[in-house]
Amino acid sequence: MIWLSFLAYSFGLAVLLALRGARPPLSAAVGPSAGAAMKVRRVLIVGSTGGTGRQLVARALERGYEVTALARNPAALAMEHPQLTVVRGDVLDRASLDAAVHGQDAVVSALGHKQFYRPTRIQSAGTANLLAVMAGHGVRRFVCETSLGLGDSAGRLGLLFTLFVIPVILPFYFWDKARQERIISESAAHWTIVRPGTLTNGPRRGRYRHGRVGNLLWGGWIARADVADFMLNQLESDTYLKAAPGICS
Ligand SMILES: NC(=O)c1ccc[n+]([C@@H]2O[C@H](COP(=O)([O-])OP(=O)(O)OC[C@H]3O[C@@H](n4cnc5c(N)ncnc54)[C@H](OP(=O)(O)O)[C@@H]3O)[C@@H](O)[C@H]2O)c1
């Protein structure tokens, strides 16, 4: 009986995450000035001190962008480059985002945290703040990392995640991620949500699958370096404008 209740809870949560995640519009047309039509030169990276964020900073610099890294503790980034500016800021403090967003062509976010065991709004409220400041500065292009397991990718992190990791360890975290996705998809930004499978710190392979990936049995993996590569590719492409592709190796 307990097992049946647990299964009902796990499947019910997966259904709610499916319903609450991003809702891409039926038609993704957003006009001729969107996405790739606009040349991106200056990019703000949010979550720059994290696993994916560091890869984003390094790869964006390799690609020749002028990079601004938002960090709660700038010293933690420990990276120097003539094209890199580090700005202290916290996504929960809207006023601290102004200086970082001003003058950018695009914002790329790998925001995350480890406060798993209590309800939080860090990702949803932080992203809402970011989108509001972007709108205020006329910055429209937004690429944001979330996760497989949300919206139309519910269940695609595999059985272990669907039946154990998400319902037992990460229910609050995923609930807030679903809220974050919905806020993005209902915004006026030119957004792309990138949903990776389980992240690794492996080397960049440069070969990965994207779109409808992952599977109901064992999910999928992807190196943070490849996720960063794919996220930056979106700045030069309209393929996934107002869409939420998954990515797995
Ligand atoms: N781990 C996985 O297998 C997996 C799978 C799929 C998707 N994802 C998602 O992928 C994303 C990136 O994961 P990751 O493990 O590469 O990143 P991470 O190491 O968890 O880094 C998260 C980043 O967000 C920053 N951050 C947290 N709260 C902030 C705030 N209030 N203001 C500004 N910055 C803040 C952190 O800054 P501090 O250094 O100051 O803390 C850090 O730079 C996350 O959304 C994660 O949920 C993870």
Q: Phi, psi (5° rounding) for residue 177?
A: -65, -40
Is the pLDDT at 216 greater than 60, yes or no? Answer: yes
Q: State the pLDDT at residue 37.
A: 52
Q: Ligand 1: distance of its center to the CA of 29 in Å?
A: 30
Residue 15 lies in a domain: no
User: Quick one: which atom of ligand 1 is closest to the CA of 55?
Assistant: 16
Residues with CB under 6 A from ligand 1: 47-53, 72-73, 76, 90-92, 110-113, 122, 126, 145, 147, 196, 198-199, 224
Q: State the pLDDT at residue 32.
A: 43
Is the pLDDT at 35 greater than 90, yes or no? Answer: no
Q: Ligand 1: distance of its center to the CA of 237 in Å?
A: 24
Q: Domain containing 199 — which CATH number? A: 3.40.50.720
Domain count, the chain: 1
pLDDT confidence tier of residue 224, bands split at 50, 70 and 90: very high
Q: Rounded distance, CA 177 to CA 226, Å?
A: 21
Q: Which residue has the tokens 């209590």?
A: 118
- At 136-180, the pLDDT tens digits run 999 999 999 999 999 999 999 999 999 999 999 999 999 999 999
Residue 141 lies in a domain: yes
Residue 165 lies in a domain: yes
Q: Rounded distance, CA 184 to CA 187, Å?
A: 5
The percent of residues in the chain predicted with pLDDT above 70, rounded, is: 95
Q: Which two tokens stand for residue 206?
A: 């440069």
Residue 231 lies in a domain: yes
Please provide the DSSP assignment of the chain as one string. Answer: -HHHHHHHHHHHHHHHHHHHS----SS----TTSGGGSPP-EEEEESTTSHHHHHHHHHHHHTT-EEEEEESSGGGT----TTEEEEE--TT-GGGGHHHHTT-SEEEE------TTS---HHHHHHHHHHHHHHHHT--EEEEE--TTSGGGTTTT-HHIIIIIIIIISHHHHHHHHHHHHHHHTSSSEEEEEEESEEE-PPP-S--EEES---TTT--EEEHHHHHHHHHHGGG--TTTTB--EEE-
Cβ–Cβ under 8 Å, residues 68 and 42 = yes
Which residues span the domain enclosing 75?
39-248
Residue 99 lies in a domain: yes
Identify residue 131 by its one-letter amino acid code: L
Section 81-110 average pLDDT: 98
Q: Which two tokens stand for residue 210?
A: 């994207």
Q: State the pLDDT at residue 1.
A: 82
Residue 239 lies in a domain: yes
pLDDT confidence tier of residue 27, bands split at 50, 70 and 90: low
Residue 17 lies in a domain: no
Residue 1 lies in a domain: no
Is the pLDDT at 31 greater than 50, yes or no? Answer: no
Q: State the pLDDT at residue 24.
A: 80
Which residue owns the Cα nearest ligand 1 atom 8?
Answer: 147
Section 72-99 average pLDDT: 97
Q: Which two tokens stand for residue 151?
A: 């919206």
Q: Ligand 1: distance of its center to the CA of 50 in Å?
A: 5
